[in-house]
Amino acid sequence: MAVVYNVLLYYQFVPIDDPEAFADEHRRLCMELGLKGRILVAPEGLNGTVSGPIEACDLYRSTVTSDQRFASMVFKVDQASGHAFEKLFVRVKKELVTFRADLPSDPNEITGKRLTPAQWKERIEKGDVIVLDGRTDYEYDIGHFRGAIRPDCESFREFPDWIRTHLADARHKPILTYCTGGIRCEKLTSFMLRDGFTDVYQLDGGIVSYGKDPDTKGALWDGLCYVFDERVTVEINHTDDRHVIGRCHHCGEPTERYVNCRNYRCRLQHIACPECERQFNSACSIACMEAPERPWYPGQPPRESSTSQRTETA
């Protein structure tokens, strides 16, 4: 792989007074640099994942961090051979991660204790902790920390209810949460502490940083890590002790491949083994296999690509 591109993942919780104006200026900067990706701007801060040529990414990082508000922002940097996104989106939102909790969850006021990858691994190995996956069910199903609880949530906003229902007896137990790049755990642990949990920790830098850590080498992670770009998944565990945990949506055999349903009305991203993908003609079900092709008329825009319909940022 010729590495000439980077994929960046980053966030900062810091007040932004005029998110609309900030987003316009930020969009201009990214377009000038030829970056693609998804950037969210909210009154509470900035969250993004972008791809671009290495020099453009370097320039982007130095430009952003020259702003005092983002001086300490941490960028997770991946190597790539091309863009990981088709387009550039810079959007203004109410919250950086849609959480809609009924309690304030400002990580700058209160948030879970941060564990470095080495501390994280040690805590899990010592045992007697609850490891909570801070992501949604389809992310968990392709890869997660060994022994972690799978929250039965399709979207992040379901977490407050889920936690109150399922962890009510664990308010004073050590709870370790993790997510892709760390941003969701900032909100999650902030909420939990406000809600009466007393011993809450978060994996600093998220799974992505854990996978790059030279000491832990991603140990205790099984499967792959779901990412919200065209790569779909990335490798985390670089040790010999690694298990495949994805299961084919059709036959249940172990596999780590994600396929987008061929039916343009469905597009369900599902795990499928090569044989079932062939048999089902890339559809998620028999009904979708038999669904008609998308009609096309002259003058219409070209067909949408097969890119994932999932549009969150990590």
Q: Please report how close the Cβ of residue 290 comes to Zn ion at its closest, in angstroms.
A: 11
Give residues with Cβ within 8 angstroms of 77, minimum separation 6.
6, 7, 8, 57
Q: Please report how close the Cβ of residue 306 comes to Zn ion at its closest, in angstroms.
A: 13
- State which residue, 137 or 199, has the beta carbon closest to Zn ion: 137
- State which residue, 89 or 138, has the beta carbon closest to Zn ion: 138
Tokens matching residue 76:
């997770």
Q: Please report how close the Cβ of residue 286 comes to Zn ion at its closest, in angstroms.
A: 10
Phi first, then psi: what are they for 59, rounded to 5°? -65, -40
Report the interface residues with Zn ion, using CB under 5 A.
248, 250-251, 261, 263, 266, 268, 273, 276, 284, 288
Strand order in 175-178's β-sheet? 113-115, 200-203, 175-178, 130-133
- State which residue, 41 or 261, has the beta carbon closest to Zn ion: 261
CB atoms within 10 A of CB 278: 10
3-class state of residue 234 by DSSP: strand
261 is catalytic: no
Residue 176 is given by DSSP the state E
Which bin fits 37, alpha (ψ -120 to 50), beta or left (φ > 0)?
left
Q: Rounded to whole angstroms, how far apart are CA atoms 169 and 253?
A: 35
- State which residue, 189 or 263, has the beta carbon closest to Zn ion: 263
- State which residue, 47 or 255, has the beta carbon closest to Zn ion: 255
Q: Please report how close the Cβ of residue 285 comes to Zn ion at its closest, in angstroms.
A: 5
- State which residue, 23 or 248, has the beta carbon closest to Zn ion: 248
Q: Please report how close the Cβ of residue 291 comes to Zn ion at its closest, in angstroms.
A: 8
Residue 165 is given by DSSP the state H
Q: Please report how close the Cβ of residue 274 comes to Zn ion at its closest, in angstroms.
A: 8
Residue 20 is given by DSSP the state H
Pairing mode, strands 221-223 and 225-226: unpaired
Residues 76 and 209 sit within 8 Å (Cβ to Cβ): yes
Active-site position among 153, 179, 185, 288: 179
Give residues with Cβ within 8 angstroms of 280, minimum separation 6.
250, 272, 286, 289
CB atoms within 10 A of CB 71: 11
Active-site residue set: 179
